Amino acid sequence: MDIINLLKLDFNDEDFSHIRTIRKSVFNTELGISENELFDKHDETCDHFLIFDGKNIVGSVRIISMDHIVKLERMAIVKNFRVKNYGKNCISQIKDYYSSKGFSQIILDSIYSVRGFYKKCGFVEEGDIFQRVGIEHIRMSLTF
C-alpha cells in the first residue's frame, strides 16, 4: 500500500489555504455544491488534516469531536490521486489516532453514491437516505 502522511492543522494555520483549494475544486467545481456550503462555523474549532503522498498534497478531511464519538466530514481526495488507497489509508490512520485518544466510534454522512468506499473502510449504513445540498446521503458508522 502506498504510504501517506497526515498533517493535523487548525483553521488559523497558514496551510488552511490548501484545504480551501481542495474543497473548492472537489465539492464546488467537481460535485457542483454551492460555495456557501463549503465552510461553516465548525471549521473554526474542529481538527483538520491535510493528506500527503510524500510529494504532493492529495486530499483533506475534517473531524468534529463529540463525547466518545467523532464525526468525519468533507473527505476529499484530489481527482488525479484517487483509487490509490489514499482515502482508505487516511481513514485507517484517523481511526487509530482517535482510538488512541479514547474515542470509540466514527460517524459520517456519506454521499449515497460513494458509500461503497466507506464500506471498504469498515463502515456500516444506518437509517434512511436523506437529502443534503441537493445530493442523496446516508449516515454510516464504524465502531472500534
Ligand X SMILES: CC(C)(COP(=O)(O)OP(=O)(O)OC[C@H]1O[C@@H](n2cnc3c(N)ncnc32)[C@H](O)[C@@H]1OP(=O)(O)O)[C@@H](O)C(=O)NCCC(=O)NCCS
**Closer to ligand X at the Cβ: 85 or 99?**
85
CA atoms within 13 A on the CB side of 77: 18
**Closer to ligand X at the Cβ: 83 or 102?**
83
Contact call for residue 142 and ligand X (CB under 6 A): no
Contact call for residue 83 and ligand X (CB under 6 A): yes
Contact call for residue 26 and ligand X (CB under 6 A): yes
Rounded Cα distance between 106 and 141, Å, is 6
Which triple of cell numbers denotes residue 87?
Answer: 482515502
Taking alpha carbons only, the member of 82, 86, 43 closest to residue 64 is 43
Residue 95 corresponds to which amino acid?
K
**Pick from 88, 107, 123, 140: which binds ligand X (CB under 6 A)?**
88
Contact call for residue 116 and ligand X (CB under 6 A): yes
Residues in the site for ligand X, rule: CB under 6 A? 26, 75-77, 82-88, 110-111, 114, 116-117, 120
